[in-house]
Structure 1
Amino acid sequence: MFLLFLLLMNVSQHALAVEVEGNAEAESVQLPCQHSGFIPDDNPTVTWTRNDLDPTTVHLRREEGDDLKGQNRRYSGRTSMRPDALDSLDFSLTLRKPRLTDSGKYSCTLSDGREERQLTTVQLQVKADREKVDSGVQSVQLPCNTTLHLAEGAKVEWMDSGDHWVHVFQNGLDQPVEQSQDYRGRTEMYANLVRTGDLSLFLDPQRETQTSTPAASTAGRETSC
């Protein structure tokens, strides 16, 4: 059990849905994007984005190859496209080791640096495998939702009963420097919590941590999650 502290501080042509179970057997999932039209002669660029993240870039492909300097760090080392994507017109994105927090709406766009055309939007839903959760392999969800209006800079702090920082999230990003060493690499939150009010925490339970009765404080008020 844990304590939660909240400190308040162009149109798509195709819409697709992809569902996958987030477990050890799901090595990857493919987000489809096929193009049958014109490719710009000058600096053609295919970009996969997720607008509820900051930065929004999931993967970017230029004529000379991938350009991942601006990639959101959540996807580092987990995305790829066909080497011949701009020749084959198959802009599908492969996402390795899908996580629950990868759920969201992804957009595939084509541009020449001046004009941008949205080709596809894909709604990815990564579902927890209940059997894997019970066996201790998959992460577990600690659900928490709020109806409060959250500012863009809202800071969310999950703590255990020993006053250890389980997870800290602010300005659309995790803050691992504030996190207790015991929990590093074991926790995730949804990136769009400001818009949805979903403050749920995903915890990898591989290591046991002593906890006790939970309580929560929301802007000075006691709440329970």
Structure 2
Amino acid sequence: MISSRFHRWKEEEAAKLSRMTFRKKAEYIAYYYKFYFLGLAAAVVLFLFAGEVLINRSKTVILSGLITNDDWNRFSASDISRDYASRIGLSSSQKLLLDDGLYIDEEGQAAEIAAASRGKIIAGITTKSLDFVITEKSVLDEFRPQMTFCSLNELLPDDLFRALRDSMATYTDENGKTVYYALSLKDSRYLTDAPEVTGTYYLFVPSIAPHREQTADFIRYCFEQVP
């Protein structure tokens, strides 16, 4: 029954179109079938989105980082991901999870964005999914009394720690131990050629960062000489 109706409709449409000029055919199809085309386009977009979600779920995150207050666009997440992926030979089953869309204004402006950005950092730390944060000194100072940092002398290989030690911020804990809690990026590949950048940017690592070895390798990459 359905097939006979479809066959009859098909013949009627073919007969209509056969009597039209090419331009009329195009106008007719565009007008009467636009909702079919829109539906098809929506289905294709949905299919591609679902496919991307499934692909990403099947990939293993090997490094996760958040970047805040990048006013000079020196720490583009897409650029860092592309270049570092090339450096380590990232496989099709792995992914880097970096986000540079965070902003925390210490003067109280853009309160909603700042609250969301703080929330994302805290969520990443509490779920043990965040490896590092790159941010301005003022934001680092805000977080310092609120969290436990990974001391960089315990994270980095000896040679790298010695090379970068003078660029590290420190404090003394309750046991009298020096904690190397953040690393200035002033001499990194991202800021050495950026005299316009007036703020000081630091990288810090939460004490429960999940990918410590990869984080150490990323820090080494940040200070490698740019070819």
TM-score normalised by the shorter chain: which range applies?
Answer: under 0.3
Task: Determine which structure has the larger helix proportion and give its number.
Answer: 2
TM-score normalised by the chain length of structure 2: 0.24
RCO greater where, 1 or 2, for CA within 8 Å and sep 6 or more?
Answer: 1
TM-score normalised by the chain length of structure 1: 0.24
Larger-Rg structure: 2
